[in-house]
Amino acid sequence: MAVLIKSETFNPASLQAAHESSLNTGSFGATATFIGSMRNVNEGDDVIGMMLEHYPGMTEKELEAIIEDARSQWPIDDALIVHRVGDIKPGEPIVLTAVWSAHRAAAFDACRFLMEALKSRAPFWKKETLKDGTHRWVERNTPGY
C-alpha cells in the first residue's frame, strides 16, 4: 500500500511497475488501473495550464485512509495512489490509482472506489489557465457513475 504526492510530472506505468515489483508474481490475477490526465478542453474552453493546490499533511492522511477503507471492503493484495500537485500542462497525468487482487471484481470495484473517494475527500483543488491568459478555479467534478 502506498501513497505518493508528486510535484513533478510522473510516468504512471513506471510507478505501477516499480510498486508491482514488490509483489509476488503469480499471487494476484487482477490489476485494475485508472489514470486521470489533464485535458486541453474543459467546459467548452481551451485550457493551456493547471495549478493543483493541496493541503500537505491532510492529503496524505486522507489518501491513506481511503486505501484502508478499500482494504476493509474488498480482498485486495495491494493498492497504489499517486497524485500530482503544482503546475501541470495538458496531457500530463494528474492521478494514478492501481489495485492488485486475486480476482477482477474486487480489483475493479476497489480501483473505482479509490478514485471516487479521492475526488470527494482528498484536499486537492484545480485552478485552470485558459487560452486568453485568465485563471479560474474548477468548481465541480464530473459525475463518477
Please list every residue from 67 through 86 that binds other proteins, using CB under 8 A. 83
Say which entry of other proteins, its own copies, none residue 32 contacts (CB below 5 to 8 A, set by partner kind).
Answer: its own copies
Query: Could you tell me the CA-to-CA distances from 115 to 39, 82, 94, 121 in Å, in that order?
Result: 17, 11, 12, 10
Q: Which CB atom, from 60 or from 92, has the smaller least distance to its own copies?
A: 92
129 contacts its own copies (rule: CB under 8 A): no
Choose, by CB under 8 A, the member of 18, 58, 73, 131 that binds other proteins.
Answer: 58
Show the cell assigned to 25: 508474481
Q: How far apart are CA 59 and CA 124, in angstroms?
A: 8
Q: How far apart are CA 32 and CA 99, in angstroms?
A: 5
33 contacts its own copies (rule: CB under 8 A): yes
Closest listed residue to residue 94, CA positions, set 125, 57, 134: 125
Choose, by CB under 8 A, the member of 53, 91, 103, 105 that binds other proteins.
Answer: 53
Q: Which residues bind other proteins (CB under 8 A)?
A: 36, 52-55, 57-58, 61-62, 83, 94-95, 104, 115, 118-127, 137-141
